[in-house]
Structure 1
Amino acid sequence: MMQVTEFTCGGFVVGLTSSHTMTDGLGAGQFINAIGDYARGLPKPRVTPIWSRDELIPNPPKLLSGPLPTPRIFQLRRLTVDLSVDSIADAKSQFLQATGRRCSTFDVAVARLWQARTRSLRLADPSTRVSLGFFADARHLLRGGGAAGFYGNCFYTVTVSAESGAVVGADTAGVVAMIRDAKARLPAEFARWAAGERVEPDPYDLSFSYEWFVSDWTRLGLDADYGWGTPSQVISFAFLPFMAKAIIGAPPAPKAGVRIMTQCVEEVNLPEFRDEMEAAF
């Protein structure tokens, strides 16, 4: 569903909502870019749509029957923090010096987020495990070696877990390494799932606990051009009270860097989470 709201100044806002049972973020971005292509007078979308889901997507394990989980409602609070270009570059440099490897802006953002949130929780037992999930595009792992143009749902959840003490006490490079190790497991874990093996924990199971997930919007293509240029900002408007999450996006143009929009802690943890985030970035 899409809604356009036009203002008296001539500007407008495009609102979009979609169901993950039909499409993922990349598919939604491709859809609205196709609309932008038509709006700008192109004879057809620049990316030809692929609808042949049965030829691309493997048969997953059968879903278990039973009652749906009852969501636990949290009083989650919002917090938005911007990462400067310099702070991102500094963290990447630290990781390169420590490991001899390169990392991405996403790796840095997720590492800083995870550490700041874990510290704000002040867990009494340092051996308590803390986890987070993030969504990885799996199109390049499909049959045929890729599916550019596929509109459907094709993400796989990557989970990273560690003892809270290790996350709290590590330097930035150490937490980034945890994130990258989890990403490296994606091809093997997806292959097992695609072969019909049941992967534990279920990558698509929503536990509705205080654990959380991160979504990267910087490469989804949500900044579609409808004829007046790309939007000044793309944000997440609807946050569900039973899902703690953070979204990585871009700050309002022309500001550079990364904007992180969160709703992942309750009021009791918010002041320290804010302090940790601001200190980190």
Structure 2
Amino acid sequence: MLLRKSSLSTASSMEFKVRRSPAKIVAPAGPTPHELKLLSDIDDQPGLRLHLPLVQFYSYNPSMARKDPVRIIREALSKALVFYYPLAGRLREGTNGKLMVDCTAEGVPFIEADADVTLDQFGVDIMPPFPCFDELLYLAPSFDIGIINTPLLLIQVTRLKCGGFIFAIRMNHTMFDGAGMGLFLNAIAEIAQGASKPSITPVWCRDLLCARDPPRVTSLLPEYQQQQQPVHDHKSLSSSKACKASFFFGPKEIDALRRLFPPHLADSSSTFEVLTALLWRCRTAAMDCQNPNQEAHLMYTVSARFGPARFNPPLPEGYYGNTFVRLWVVSTVGMLCGQPLSYALELVKKSKKEASEEYVHSTIDQLAIKGRPPFTLAPGTFVVSDNTKSGFRDVDFGWDKPLYSGLAENEKAGASFYFAHTNSKGEHGRLVFICLLEEEMKRFEKELNGIYTSHQP
């Protein structure tokens, strides 16, 4: 049986009080350049102009008993901002909506807090959804009105009764992808442990992911054709209908999943591919579509840092901007749910063949030609974002690695986020955080467990 946690079963009675001090602005610890820095054509897409909340839970460490995580992290942040100085600035919008960072050294809001709760109260295995999360990461009014002329980050560190603490951050997505944020967080952590500078020097170089001159589109990219509803217009699900859940796939679950496929296919497929095929199939079945000819869409991201889309020569190791583009897979509902599970896997693997450096450049060029159109999704699209290589799990401020590190909220219907995770038994695996309608979630869990117990390749 899969380890899972759902908002349907989250203890709503778990309430706690948080005492917050007024936000302090943390500026770079030393002088930094005052300049304008353009974002890349991937960075400033409309679909990335938002703040994402990330959270990390740290347990009590006897060796750090007399040390204050708030003070240590705040001071390390100030020193890290000398190297990541654009993050202490503010976004400006130029001609034709082009975004740039005004490196003003204004700093980052930092909130110190204390909560009358222990880590044990979040469960044996800490994973989202989290009750009362708004207490653990303040939503400043300026973060609720947009991204222009506002801080690029907001951080809250909350001490717990047990001696552990929670690190939470709102990040402006135009500045980072998951791996880029991982670089920044690990830089703070290294300095918190005494380093004078990050082991990986941050690199801006956003021109590397800007359109070619002249631009040329060599791949058809349906998600930018503006024929469907813009993704940022897909409203968050209302609290009465939304259900958020995490599922942990450890070594046993992944091995069992691979046994559902013919050996030649299982051996030639990555964990991402087999897991995505499974979840796409289950999510499509959960939608309970009555028309077998209706299209079922899957969209997932690939990065110019990793895998088949990796640039040659590679992007600089310290590049912390957005590097991902999207791949698209389409089937009919009847074929996806009626054929063996290997059918879905073959489609995912086939789509991977499109992922290349040229595909990334073609995406960027199309964005530039079309004036950075809103990203679009066909209704019911299953969206997957793989963050297992982000480095979130390795962020150690001195209290050891986090018990959970990843997205704090997921309010996009049909979106699934993958994170590297270690459960309470010490098993390393993948945590899948998904949001569906309540009835869809019930059918999704039933379909998922049914495949594990009875499906044959």
> Please, what TM-score do these two structures have when normalized by structure 2?
0.54
Query: Quick one: which amino acid aligns to residue 441 of structure 2?
Result: L
Match status 1:149 vs 2:318:
yes
In 2, the alpha carbon distance for the partners of 1:46 and 1:247 equals 28
**Alignment equivalent of 2:403, drawn from 221, 227, 232:** 232
In 2, the alpha carbon distance for the partners of 1:22 and 1:107 equals 28
Task: Report how far residue 124 of structure 1 moved.
Answer: 1.5
Q: Relative to 1, partners in 2 of residues 1:58 and 1:237: Cα closer, same or farther, differing over 3 Å?
A: same
**Alignment equivalent of 2:362, drawn from 174, 180, 192:** 192
Task: Report how far residue 190 of structure 1 moved.
Answer: 2.0
Match status 1:99 vs 2:270:
no
In 1, the alpha carbon distance for the partners of 2:243 and 2:355 equals 31
Conserved? CA contact 1:80–1:262, under 8 Å: yes
In 2, the alpha carbon distance for the partners of 1:276 and 1:102 equals 25
SS at structure 1 position matched to 2:172: coil
Match status 1:76 vs 2:228:
no
Q: Which residue of structure 1 aligns with residue 437 of structure 2?
A: 266
SS at structure 1 position matched to 2:380: coil
Q: Relative to 1, partners in 2 of residues 1:121 and 1:148: Cα closer, same or farther, differing over 3 Å?
A: same
SS at structure 1 position matched to 2:396: coil
Match status 1:205 vs 2:375:
yes
Task: Report how far residue 222 of structure 1 moved.
Answer: 0.9
Conserved? CA contact 2:367–2:373, under 8 Å: no
Task: Report how far residue 230 of structure 1 moved.
Answer: 0.7
Q: Which residue of structure 2 aligns with residue 26 of structure 1?
A: 179
Question: CA deviation digits over 1:153-174, x for unaligned, max 9?
Answer: 1111122111111211232332
Task: Report how far residue 279 of structure 1 moved.
Answer: 2.7
Question: CA deviation digits over 1:182-214, x for unaligned, max 9?
Answer: 1221115324224558899x9971448432311
SS at structure 1 position matched to 2:301: strand
Task: Report how far residue 139 of structure 1 moved.
Answer: 2.9
Q: Indicate the larger mover: 10-19 or 72-81.
A: 72-81
SS at structure 2 position matched to 1:106: helix
> Please, what TM-score do these two structures have when normalized by structure 1?
0.85
Query: Quick one: which amino acid aligns to residue 183 of structure 1?
Result: K
SS at structure 2 position matched to 1:228: coil
Structure having the higher Rg: 2
Identity of aligned pairs, percent?
24
Q: Relative to 1, partners in 2 of residues 1:119 and 1:160: Cα closer, same or farther, differing over 3 Å?
A: same
Query: Quick one: which amino acid aligns to residue 276 of structure 2?
Result: V
Q: Relative to 1, partners in 2 of residues 1:232 and 1:277: Cα closer, same or farther, differing over 3 Å?
A: same
In 1, the alpha carbon distance for the partners of 2:322 and 2:170 equals 14
In 2, the alpha carbon distance for the partners of 1:64 and 1:182 equals 19
Higher relative contact order (CA 8 A, sep 6+): 1
Query: Quick one: which amino acid aligns to residue 416 of structure 2?
Result: A
Unaligned runs of 5+ in 1: none
Q: How does 1:44-59 map to 2 (within 5 A)?
A: 44-54=197-207, 56-59=208-211
Match status 1:110 vs 2:276:
yes
SS at structure 2 position matched to 1:257: strand
In 1, the alpha carbon distance for the partners of 2:189 and 2:373 equals 33
Match status 1:4 vs 2:173:
no
In 2, the alpha carbon distance for the partners of 1:12 and 1:153 equals 29
Question: CA deviation digits over 1:95-140, x for unaligned, max 9?
Answer: 4624375212211221111111111112112121111212211136
Q: Relative to 1, partners in 2 of residues 1:91 and 1:277: Cα closer, same or farther, differing over 3 Å?
A: closer
Q: How does 1:104-183 map to 2 (within 5 A)?
A: 104-139=270-305, 141-142=310-311, 144-183=313-352
SS at structure 2 position matched to 1:86: helix
Question: CA deviation digits over 1:11-64, x for unaligned, max 9?
Answer: 01111221221111111111100001101112221212111212x213177x99
**Alignment equivalent of 1:90, drawn from 245, 251, 256:** 256
Conserved? CA contact 1:120–1:273, under 8 Å: yes
Conserved? CA contact 2:250–2:427, under 8 Å: no
Q: Which residue of structure 2 aligns with residue 37 of structure 1?
A: 190
Q: Relative to 1, partners in 2 of residues 1:197 and 1:244: Cα closer, same or farther, differing over 3 Å?
A: closer
Q: Which residue of structure 2 aligns with residue 220 of structure 1?
A: 390
In 1, the alpha carbon distance for the partners of 2:316 and 2:293 equals 42
Q: Relative to 1, partners in 2 of residues 1:189 and 1:199: Cα closer, same or farther, differing over 3 Å?
A: farther
Task: Report how far residue 142 of structure 1 moved.
Answer: 4.1
Conserved? CA contact 1:91–1:173, under 8 Å: no
Question: CA deviation digits over 1:52-101, x for unaligned, max 9?
Answer: 212x213177x999xx8644443331122222312312333554624375
Conserved? CA contact 2:258–2:266, under 8 Å: no
Query: Quick one: which amino acid aligns to residue 246 of structure 2?
Result: T
In 2, the alpha carbon distance for the partners of 1:231 and 1:100 equals 32
Unaligned runs of 5+ in 2: 1-153, 216-223, 453-457
What value does the CA root-mean-square deviation take over the aligned residues? 3.1
Q: Relative to 1, partners in 2 of residues 1:279 and 1:199: Cα closer, same or farther, differing over 3 Å?
A: farther
SS at structure 2 position matched to 1:234: strand
Task: Report how far residue 243 of structure 1 moved.
Answer: 4.2
